[in-house]
Amino acid sequence: MFCAAALAAAIPAERRTPQTGARKLHLKAKVPLVEIFQHILNALQFGSFYALIALGYTLVYGVLRLINFAHGDIFMVGAYLAYFIAVTLLGIGGLNLGMHIDPALALAITVPVTMILTALVGVTLERTAYRPLRRKGADRLYVVITALMAGLVLENGNLALLGASRKRFPDMIDKVVWNLGGGVSVTNLKVIVIVAAIAVFMLLQFIVTRTKIGMAMRGISYDKFAIPLMGIPLDTIIVVTFVLGSGMAGLAGILFAMSYPILEPYMGALIGWKAFIAAVVGGIGDIRGAIVGGFMLGFIEIGVVAVFPSTLRDLFAFSVLLIILWLKPTGIYGVAQTTKI
Amino acid sequence: MKRMTVKILFAVLALSLGVFALSGCGKDSDTIKVGFNLELTGDIPKVGEASKFAAEMLKEDINSKGGLEVGGKKYKLEFVYQDNEAKAESAVNAALKLINQDNVVAIVGPNSSKQAIPAGATCNDAQVTMVTPWSTNPDTTKDRPWVFRACFLDPFQGPVAANFASKQFGAKTAAVIFDIANDYSKGLAEIFKAEWEKKSGAGTVVGFESHGTKDQDFSAQLTKIIAAKPDFIFIPDNYNQVALIVKQAHDLGYKGPFMGSDAWGSAELMTLCGKDCIGQFFSTHYAAAGAQGATKEFIDRFNTKYKYVPDDVAALTWDATRLVLQAIQSAGKVEKDIKAERKLVRDALANIKEFAGITGNMKFAGTGDPNKCAVVVQISPEGKFEFKETVCPE
Amino acid sequence: MQKYTATIVLFAFIVLLVVLAQFSILDRYYVSVLMFMGVNVILASSLNLVNGYMGEFSCGHGGFMCVGAYVSSLCTVLMFSKNQILGAPLLPPQLAFVGFPLALMAGSAAAAIAGLVVAVPSFKTRGDYLAIITLAANYIVISAINNMEIIGGPRGFMGMSATERAMQDMLNIPWVLIFVLLGTVFTVWILRRFVSSTLGKGVPAICQDEIAAEIMSVDTNRMKLIAFMLSSGLAGLAGGLYAQVLGYVNPQSFDIMRSTEVMVMVYLGGMGSLSGAALAAILFTVLMEALRFLDVWKWVVIPLLLILLMQFRPEGLMGNKELSDLFPKLRKYYSFK
C-alpha cells in the first residue's frame, strides 16, 4: 500500500512540469530514480510523525467527537519530558541527580517513562478541562474552545517557565548511516521511526478491534447514550482513550526529539494542525485513516519540495488535501454521520 | 443576580480602561532614555540576550559614574527593552511602542535584518534615530537618513565568504541552502551566488535551495543538493537552523565542508550543533580568541559577569550603544522636547566620521554604513571560534 | 429627536477623539491603541456573523484579513507611493483622501471573493469539516502570498505610509484614525441592519435548524453565501486598515494565531451578540496592552481566563443578548432595533 502511494506521489511529480510565469523554477526535467528512493525514505520517516500524532486526534475524536486541539502541544510536552528525563539520567542537566547511566540503557528507561508521563498529562487535561464541561452537557463547541486555549496555555507556559532558549536533545543512540548504494543512505534512527509508527498502528488496531475495551470505544462512537445503559463505565473508557492517544503522542515526541534534536516551545503547534488535517483527510474516527492520512501528507510535502521550490510546499499540501476533502467530504476511510432531525 | 454580574463586569471594564489611560503619566527630566528593540524570545533568543547583557554592562558602567555627561550636566541612563520575538511585524510594533509610549531618544536594534528592515522603515518615518548592531543587509539603511549600523554589509561579506571558500577548499562548485522568509539569509545567498558565478563561471552554483523559517526537516532540499555533488555548501542561516541542517546533511551521507556567515556566530551554536559543526568555517565580525586592548578588556569583563565568552552580537551592541551615547554627548545639550532631541541626536550621529569600536575601526562615509574589516573563524574541537584570517576593504 | 440621540452621541464622541488626537492630548501611543481597538471590533463583529449568528465554525478569518490587507496596500502603493517594485505613483498625492477609501473598498471586495471560495464547500459540510476547510484556506492564502516574490513574499511589503504622509501634507489631521473609526461604525451599522432585516433573519434560522429553515423558504445556500461574503469582506476592510496603521504587512501576521485571537474575542463576547463581540474586542485590546508588564505570561493568563470563562459562563460576556436587552431604557435613544 505504501509503495502504491509512493509511486503515485513520485511519478506524477516527475511527469508534471508546470509552466508558472516569469519565475525560474529550478526544475530538473527528470528526477533520477536514486533520488526518488531517497525521497521516498525521507517521506516515510517524516510521515510517521504525522501518523503518530494523527492517531491521537482520531482516537479522541472517534470516542468523544471532540477535536482535541491541545494534542499537538501534548506532543511538545512529551518531547520536553523526554529531554528532562534523558539529561537527568545521563547526568548532564535536568535534576542533576548525578547519575551517569549508559545512553542505551537511559533510552530504554526514557521511552516508557515519557509515554507514561505524557499520558498522565493528557488525562489531567481531560479531568480538569473536558470532564466538567461534559458533565454539564455543554455544547461541543465550548469544549473545542477549551481545547484550543489549553494548547495555548501549554505552549506559552513552557515558554514562560523554561525561557526562550532552544534545548538540545542529547544523542542517545550511536548513529549508523547505511549506504544502500547509489547515493541513497538511511540512518538507523529513520528506520526505527518508521518501524515504530507501523508497530503502533498495529497495536492500536489490535486493541480497537480485538479487545473488549476497543469494542467499548467503538460502541461509544456509535451511540454515546446507550453505552452507560449497557453497564460500561463511560469515564473509564474515555480515560483509556486519552491514555492511548497521549502516550502515542509522547512516543512521537521522543522520536521527533531524537531525529530533530532542537526543541522549542512552539514545535507542536504547526505539526499538530497539519496532523489534524491529515487525520481528517484520512477519515477522522478511523485508525487506518490516521495512518494513511499521515503518510500521505508526508509524501505530499517531501514530494513537492523535491520537485518545486520548497516555498510551494504548504500551498500544494493544503490544496491537495482540500481537493481530497471536496471529492470525499468525510475523508478516505470516513463514514458519513447521520444526524436525526 | 445575572444582571448584577454583568453590570459589575461593565464597571470593571470601565475601570480598567481608566487605569490603562492613566498609566502613561509621569516623566523624569533627569534621565535619558534609550530604547532597545531585541529578539528576546522567538527563534534566536541568544542574540537578544547577548545584546541585552552588553547594554546592561555599559549602563552600569556609566550610571555608576553618576550618569552620562552632556553639556556639563550628568544624566542618568535608562534603557528600555522591547521584545520583537524575532518576527518582522512584532519588530514594527516594538519600534512603535518605544517611539510613542516610552519616548526614547534613539533605538538600538533590531539585530537580525529580517526585523531591522521593517523596523528601520518605521523609525525613519517617525524620525527617530536607529542604530542596528548586527544587521548586514543593505536595505536596512538604504535611503533612510535616520538609520545607521555598526557592522559591515552583505555585499562585502558575500565576496569574503566566496573568496575564502574557493581558496580554502579549492572549490569550483558550490551549493547554497537559505531561509527564504529571512531578508538576511535570502539577500546574502543571492549576493554569494552572483559573486561565485562571477568568479567561477555561470552554472557553478549547482544547488540553490530554500526553506521556510519554521522548517525542521531539510531532507528533501539536502538530498537534491548532495546529488548535485558540490564542493562545499554555503549556509547563510541563523544558528538554530544551521545546527539542524549540518546534522541532517551528515545523516544523508555528505562528508564535504560547509561555509557559514556571521549569523553562525552565537554562543549557543555549539550547544545546539555539537560535534557536527567542529572544523567548519564562517565569516564574522570579530574573533574573541586572541583579542587585545579594549576588546580583550570587554571580553574578560563580560565573561566574568555572565559566565560565557561574548559573541559578535554582544560586542557590536557595545559599539552601537556607545555610538548613540557619543552622539548624545556631542550634541551638546539635552532638549526637553523629544522631537527636537531626536533630531539633535541624529545630526550628531551623522557627523561622526570615525569611531574606534572594539569590533574594529569604523569609518563612516555619510550613508550610515561603516567601512569595516571582516574575520573568518574556524570552529575548534573544543567548540571555540578560532581566528583564521582578516579581510579588509580596499 | 430623542430617537437619534445615540447616533449624535456616537458621532460627537468620534469627533472628540479626533480632536484629542489632533492636539496631542492623546499621544500617539493611545491613538495607535484606539486604532487597533477599531480594527479588532471590525474583525470580531464580522466573525460573529458567521460563528455566532450562523453557528458555523470558521477558523480562517486571518486569511481574509490577509487578502484585504495586501490588496488595499497594493492599491495605495500603486497610486501614491514611489516604490522600487512598482515604479512611480500613478495619482497625485492630493487625491490620497479619496484614493485610500477606494483602495479599502477594493481590498474588501477581494476578500469577499475569497469568502466565496470558502462558502461554496460550506454548503455540504458543517462543524468540524468546515473548520478544516477554513483552516486550510487560511494556510493556502498565506502560502500563496509567501510565494509571490513581486510583493515581497514572506519578507513583507512596505510603503503604505506614503499615503498617510500624502494625506497629512494636504491637511494635517489624524486621517488614519478617522478612517478607522468610520470603518468601525460602518461595520457595526451594516451588520446590525443585516441581522435585523428580514433577509438577515435567515441567518439565525440556519443556526437553529437548517432543515426547518429550508422548509420555511429560506434559501440556505444563498444565505450562507451572503453571510460568508459579508463577513470576509469586512475582514478585508479590517485588514486594509490594519496594514495602514502598521505601515508594514507580511503574511505571518495573519496566520492561525490571528484567527485564534479573533475567535477568542467572539467567544468571549458571546456568540450571536453584536454588542458582545464589539465589547469583547475592546476589552481584549485593553487587556493585551494592560497585561504587557507580564510579558510572556500574558499569553498564559489570557487563555486561562478563557478556559475559566468556558467553565463558568460559557455563553460569554453577553450570551446572545444585545446591549439594549440589558439596559432596556437605551432603546428609546436609537432609531432602529
Total domains, chain B? 2
Judged by CB atoms closer than 8 Å, whether chains meet at A177 and B208 is answered as no
Q: Is there a single domain that holds both residue B190 and residue B249? A: yes
Domain shared by B148 and B297, yes or no: yes
Residue-level pLDDT at A21: 36
**Exposure of B351 in the CB half-sphere (CA atoms within 13 A):** 12
Contact A312 C143 (CB under 8 A): yes
More confident residue, C110 or A309: C110
Instruction: List all chains that touch chain A, counting a touch as 3 or more CB pairs closer than 8 Å.
Output: B, C
Is residue B196 within 8 Å of B174, Cβ to Cβ? Answer: yes
B4 belongs to a structural domain: no
B383 in a structural domain: no
Measured CA to CA, the distance from residue C108 to residue C171 in angstroms comes to: 26
CA distances in angstroms from B227 to A31, A39, A175, A185, B222, listed in the order given = 10, 12, 22, 12, 8
pLDDT along chain A (341 residues), means of 10: 38 36 43 79 90 90 85 94 88 71 84 94 92 82 86 90 84 79 79 91 91 88 83 89 93 92 87 86 85 91 81 82 80 71 58
The residue behind cell 475569497 is C114
C110 compared with C269, residue with greater pLDDT: C110
Whether B394 maps to a domain, the answer reads no
CA-angle at B200, arms to B195 and B201, nearest 5°: 95
Preceding amide of B145 cis, omega within 30: no
Domain annotation covers residue A176: no
Cell numbers that stand for C214 in this block:
429550508
Interface size B-C, in CB pairs within 8 Å, comes to 82
> In this complex, is the C-beta atom of C97 within 8 Å of any C-beta atom belonging to chain A?
no
Helix (H) or strand (E) holding C229: helix C220-246
Looking at the fold, whether B159 and B279 belong to one and the same domain comes out as: yes
User: Mean pLDDT over residues C125-151, rounded?
Assistant: 82
**What is the distance in angstroms between the Cα of A262 and the nearest Cα belonging to chain B?**
7
Lookup: cell for B279: 572544523
The domain that holds B279 is classified in CATH as 3.40.50.2300
Partner-chain contact A311 C154, CB within 8 Å: yes
Residue from the list B13, B19, B87 with its beta carbon closest to the beta carbon of C283 = B13
With CA atoms as reference, the chain A residue closest to C118 would be A322
The interface residues of chain C toward chain B in range 80-139, judged by CB-CB distance below 8 A, are none
**Distance (Å) from the alpha carbon of A221 to chain B's nearest alpha carbon:** 36
**Residue B71 identity (one-letter amino acid):** G
**A330: nearest CA in chain C?**
C129
- What's the whole-number average pLDDT of chain A? 82
pLDDT > 70? residue C157: yes
Q: Are residues B165 and B279 in the same domain?
A: yes
Q: Tell me which of B250, B284, B318 is where a domain ends.
A: B284
Asked if residue A7 belongs to a domain, the reply is no
* Confidence (pTM): 0.84
Residue B330 lies in a domain: yes
Contact B304, B368 (CB under 8 A): no
Q: A32: closest CA among B230, B228, B206, B173?
A: B228
Burial code of B146-155, b = ≥16 C-beta within 10 A, e = fewer? bbbbbbbbbb
The alpha carbon of residue C282 is apart from the nearest alpha carbon of chain B, in Å, by 9
Residue A116 Cα, gap to closest chain C Cα (Å): 25
Q: Which residues contact A199 (CB under 8 A, 6 or more apart)?
A: none
Interface partners of chain B (CB pairs < 8 Å, 3 or more) are A, C
Burial class (CB in 10 A: 0-12, 13-18, 19+), A160: buried
Could you please report the per-residue DSSP string of B167-185?
Answer: HHH--S-EEEEEETT-HHH
Q: What is the dihedral of CA A292, A265, C263, C270, to 10 degrees?
A: 120
Determine which of B8, B39, B92 to mutate to test the interface with C (most C C-beta atoms within 10 Å).
B92
The pLDDT assigned to B25 comes to 46
CB of C283 within 8 Å of any CB in chain A?
Answer: no
Q: For residue C304, which residues of chain A lie inside 8 Å, CB to CB?
A: 149, 153
Q: Are residues B35 and B126 in the same domain?
A: yes
* Distance in Å, alpha carbon of A325 to nearest chain C alpha carbon: 8
| B19 domain-assigned | no
Residue in A163, A183, A270 nearest the CB of B227 = A183
Write out residues 188-227 of A within 8 Å (CB-CB) of B: 189-190
Q: Tens digits of per-residue pLDDT, A305-324?
A: 877 777 788 888 888 888 88
pLDDT above 70: residue C336: no
Q: What domain range is A82 assigned to? A: 48-168+185-265
The pLDDT of residue A22: 38
- Distance (Å) from the alpha carbon of C291 to chain A's nearest alpha carbon: 14
Query: Distance (Å) from the C-alpha of residue A143 to the closest C-alpha of chain C?
Result: 8
On the question of pLDDT at C27 being above 60, the answer is: yes
Contacts of C290 in chain B (CB under 8 A): 16, 19-20, 23
CB contact under 8 A, B24 and C326: no
Q: Are residue B69 and residue B105 in the same domain, yes or no?
A: yes
Which chain C residue is nearest to residue B182, measuring alpha carbons?
C155
- Domain residues for B256? 154-284
pLDDT (mean) for C101-121: 90
Residue C158, SS3 per DSSP? strand
Mutation pick from C30, C70, C151, C155 vs chain B, by most beta carbons of B within 10 Å, is C155
User: What is the average per-residue pLDDT within C174-192?
Assistant: 91
Positive or negative: CA dihedral B322, B328, B332, B334: negative
Q: Are A237 and A63 in contact (CB under 8 A)?
A: yes
Please check whether residue B37 is in contact with residue B82, taking contact to mean a CB–CB distance below 8 angstroms: yes
* C neighbours by CB contacts (3+ pairs under 8 Å): A, B
Q: Is the Cβ pair C147, A312 closer than 8 Å?
A: yes
> Hey, are the CB atoms on B181 and C154 less than 8 Å from each other?
yes
Q: What is the pLDDT of residue C112?
A: 95
Residues B144 and B45 in one domain: yes
Considering only residues C146 and C24, tell me which one the structure prediction assigns the higher pLDDT. Answer: C146
Please tell me which residue of chain A has the smallest CA distance to C306: A149
List chain B residues with CB under 8 Å of C289.
20
On whether both B270 and B307 belong to a single domain, the answer is: no
With an 8 Å Cβ cutoff, are A156 and C307 in contact?
Answer: no
Mutate to test the interface with A, among B46, B49, B53, B224 (most CBs of A within 10 A): B224
With respect to residue A143, please indicate whether it lies within any of the assigned structural domains: yes
Measured over the CA atoms of residue A273, residue A277, residue A278 and residue A279, the dihedral's sign is: positive
Could you tell me if C47 and C235 are in contact, meaning their C-beta atoms sit under 8 angstroms apart?
yes
Span C37-89, pLDDT tens digits? 999 999 999 999 998 888 888 888 999 999 999 999 988 888 877 766 666 77
How is residue C269 written as a grid cell? Answer: 463576547
Q: What is the pLDDT along chain B (394 residues), one digit of tens a residue?
A: 455 555 665 555 555 555 555 554 445 567 889 999 999 888 888 899 999 999 999 999 999 988 888 888 888 899 999 988 888 878 888 898 899 888 899 999 899 988 998 899 889 888 899 999 999 888 888 888 999 999 988 999 999 999 999 889 988 999 999 998 888 899 999 999 999 999 888 888 998 988 888 888 888 889 889 988 999 999 999 998 999 999 999 988 888 999 999 999 888 888 888 888 999 999 998 888 778 888 889 999 999 999 888 888 999 999 999 999 999 888 887 888 888 888 989 999 988 888 888 888 888 888 888 888 888 999 988 888 888 888 888 7
Count of CB contacts below 8 A, A vs C?
Answer: 109
- Best mutation site among B22, B125, B178, B215 for testing chain C: the one with the most C CBs within 10 Å? B125
End-to-end CA distance of chain A: 39
Average pLDDT in the C257-269 region? 87
Verify that B145 and B160 share a domain, yes or no. Answer: no
pLDDT computed for residue A32 by the predictor: 74
Do the chains contact at A311 and B227, CB–CB below 8 Å?
no
Q: In sequence order, what DSSP letters do the residues of A129-172 get, joined into one string? A: IIHHHHHTT--HHHHHHHHHHHHHHHHHHHHHHH-SS-EEPPP-
Query: Among all residues of chain A, which has the CA nearest to that of B213?
Result: A311
C28 with B92: Cβ contact below 8 A: no
Cβ pair A261:B247 closer than 8 A: yes
The shortest C-alpha distance from B253 to chain A (Å) reads 6
Query: Considering CB atoms only, which of B24, B92, B100 is closest to C247?
Result: B92
Domains present along chain C, CATH in parentheses: 2-333 (1.10.3470)
Cell numbers at residue A164, please? Answer: 526562550
Q: How far apart are CA A295 and CA B373, in angstroms?
A: 50
Sort out which chain C residues have CB atoms less than 8 A from A319's CB and list them.
140
Strands B370-371 and B360-364: antiparallel
Shortest distance, CA A305 to any CA of chain B (angstroms):
6
What interhelical angle do B312-330 and B338-350 show, nearest 10? 110
For chain A, what is the domain count?
1
Within-domain flag for B90? yes
Radius of gyration of the CA atoms of chain A, in A: 21
Name the residue with higher pLDDT: B284 or C123: B284
Mark whether B305 and B254 lie in a shared domain: no
